[in-house]
Every structure is written in structure tokens, then in C-alpha cells.
Amino acid sequence: MNHPVLKEIGCSIILTASIAAGGMASAHDIDAKAHAAAEAGVQVPDTPAKIWRAIDAKTAELKQGIDRGALADVHHQAYAVRDLVAALPAHSPDLPADKKAKVQASVKFVATLAERLDATDDANDKAAARSNYDKLKPLHNSKAYLG
């Protein structure tokens, strides 16, 4: 995030949320999380099919980064995938209730994986990054019923 005022606001929001949740985060943790979330800001396509193509592209970038050992960029792709998956429910209004519930579960799961991938990036732990990436595979197998 290059704009200092926006960065400050983002850090303040994260700090406030952290304190409200009962924890205290270091300034470095706050800055890193605000930066990662801002950098992940992806353009969300307007149809489920286009969103899936974007998810596929970001997931491929994520895999390439892990394969190369370029873990410093892993959080960018992980948070982008998270944001794209999170956009699926709003872009799938005609999805039956049972399938929409599966999408919502996937949204939560991918958000958890994005946090884990961010942590593996911070720890420079390629094995853990690979393990968390591998957990995204079932998501791709479920495209047919997710929209």
C-alpha cells in the first residue's frame, strides 16, 4: 500500500479489531497483514465462470511461487484466491440453497488457508506452504457444483 494515510487507516482498523478480539498485535504484524490484504485487492469478474478462471490463474501463480521457493509473494496470491472465492456467492444468485451452503463453507475454508499460507510465507516454510496449497485441490474438483 503506497498511500500513507490509507496504510495508517488500515493499520488502525486491524489494531482495533485485534484489541476488540482480546489480543494484542505487534506493529509489524499489523503492518504486514494490512499490506497483504491491500495487495490482494483483485478485480472480481462479473460471472462465476470468469471468477473461476481468475481463481485458476491465481492458484497457478501460487503453485509456481511455492515451486520456485518464492514464498515472499505467496500471501499475495493466497489472499487473491480468498477474495475471488468469497465473491462467488454474490455472483451466483440462482444457485440452489444446498450448493450455496457448500460455497459458503468453501469461502471460510479458503480464508483459513490464506491465513495459513501467509504464515508459511512469514516462516519461510516451503513444506507447510505446499501442504496448505494441496488443500486447495478439492476446491477445484468442486467447480461443477459451486457455480
Residue range(s) of every CATH 1.20.120 domain in the chain = 43-146
Phi and psi for 93 in degrees, rounded to 5?
Answer: -65, -25
Residues 6+ apart with CB under 8 A from 59: 77, 81, 136, 140
pTM of the model: 0.69
| Residues 114/85, Cβ–Cβ less than 8 Å | no
What confidence score (pLDDT) does residue 140 get? 61
Fold of 43-146: Four Helix Bundle (Hemerythrin (Met), subunit A) (1.20.120)
- Which range, 5-9, 38-42, 43-47, has the best average confidence (pLDDT)? 43-47
What confidence score (pLDDT) does residue 143 get? 57
